[in-house]
Structure 1
Amino acid sequence: MTTSSQPSKPTNSTKPHIVTREFEAPRELVRDVCTQPGHLAAWFAPGGRKGSVKSFDFRVGGMIHYCQTAPDGSDPVWGRAIYTEISPKHRIVYMQSFSDESANIGSHPMAPGWPRVMHCIYRFEDLGKNRTRFTVEWTPADDSSAESIALFDSARAGMDGGWKGTLDNLENYIKTIR
């Protein structure tokens, strides 16, 4: 059974940015570490950053509000995501934004022209033998300007680096809890 809320659509103006990683872990474990606040705080930040979860309501229409900081707690970058579809075991869809400490949508701290809302899909594919393919698909939301879409398209190498660090953290975290 899939639960979803009002439609949320990616823009048709650009290709999604897709990152994929295979993990030596069952799908249920990979999904759990992506859907439980204690787990998320342990890994959800690019390499060299530290994550924390301020609030978490994992249901359609619910929100996660999180922060990523330097290891010493300085340089906070806040974000939020509103869940729009939750399919048990297979897929999670949400609308993600940078935010302030109160969860109000904000601008990217280093790229003010960045799309204010991103359509994001997590996919969890069971490969058998305790292996899971985790795919993240990111696309600017359908109300993004041409300028913000161009900035998104020009930043793909940086997104690859950020997601690589984040997924490295996830891989290392999974190894510690298996």
Structure 2
Amino acid sequence: MATTSSGGEPEHATADREIVMSRVISAPRELVFEAFTQVRHLSRWWGPEGFSTSTRSFEFRVGGAWDFVMHGPDGTDYQEWITWREIVPPERIALLHGESRDDPDAFESVLAFEQAGDETRLVMRTVFPTKELRDEAVEKYHAVEGGEQTLRNLAAYVADLSRNDTGRIETTPKGAAS
């Protein structure tokens, strides 16, 4: 039986267009999932090292969107748009990510949150429309390194949350000295 992507294609048909990353995070699955569901969390960890995020609008529901700008350390602003395509708490999120609502080069990502004892294994599978767009993301935008840094930021953020007995969120911005 062939495994299929969220777009219905056999998984082997997308291999040259995809990036797959995973990370084990020392926090409960529900907390890791929650970090993706509320903008107050996302703005604290989203993006590679040195980047910050400003949200224009955020509606976490199937068909809803997150319209935001990522600010690079060199001062470059990157317009971003995510549309939530599937949400299965606390197991799975599928999304379409591009520069705008109608971006023809938008890519699909599926995030799987797997409980692993007291930890969570997060698997992020991203499929681009073409091999060339995947290669550009890897070579020009350093998608693999940036993705690994983003998952590292997430892991550090939820570890802080899970250690915080009062439930309050720390106020030190991502990348700032504590």
Any residues of structure 2 matched to 1:43-62 within 5 Å, and which? 43-62=45-64
Deviation, 1:176, is 2.3
Q: 1:125 is matched with which residue: 109, 114, 119?
A: 114
Q: How many residues align?
A: 152
Identify which of 30, 33, 48 aligns with 2:32: 30
- Whether 1:160 aligns to 2:144 is yes
Report the Cα offset of residue 153 of structure 1.
3.5
CA distance 1:105–1:90, shift in 2 (3 Å) = same
User: 3-state SS of the aligned residue for 2:35?
Assistant: helix
Q: TM-score, normalised by structure 2?
A: 0.75
Q: Are residue 85 (structure 1) and residue 67 (structure 2) matched?
A: no
Structure 2 residue 96 is matched with structure 1 residue 95? yes
SS at match of 2:36: helix
Pair 1:68 & 2:70 matched: yes
Q: 1:56, 1:64 within 8 Å by CA — same for their partners in 2? A: yes
What is the Cα deviation at residue 175 of structure 1?
2.5
**Matched residue SS, 1:47:** coil
C-alpha contact (below 8 Å) 2:18/2:134 kept by paired residues: no
Matched to 2:111, the amino acid is Y
Tell me how large the CA RMSD over aligned residues is: 2.4
The one-letter amino acid of 2:126's match is: W
1:124-177, Cα deviation, whole Å (9 max, x unpaired): 00001x20001111001xxx3xxx522413654722101111112112212322
- Asked if the contact 1:95/1:118 (under 8 Å) is kept, the reply is yes
**Rounded Cα–Cα distance in structure 1 between residues aligned with 2:18 and 2:52:** 26
Match of 1:175?
A: 159
Q: What residue ranges of structure 2 are gaps of 5+ in the alignment?
A: 1-5, 163-178
The answer (yes or no) to whether the contact 1:48–1:70 under 8 Å persists in 2 is yes
- The whole-number CA distance in structure 2 between the counterparts of 1:26 and 1:41 is 20
Q: Distance in 2 between matches of 1:94 and 1:10?
A: 15
Q: 2:131 aligns with which of 116, 131, 149?
A: 149
Distance 1:34 1:161 in 2: 20
Q: Verify the 8 A CA contact 2:17 2:131 in the aligned structure 1.
A: no
**Gapped runs of 5+ residues in structure 1?**
1-7, 107-114
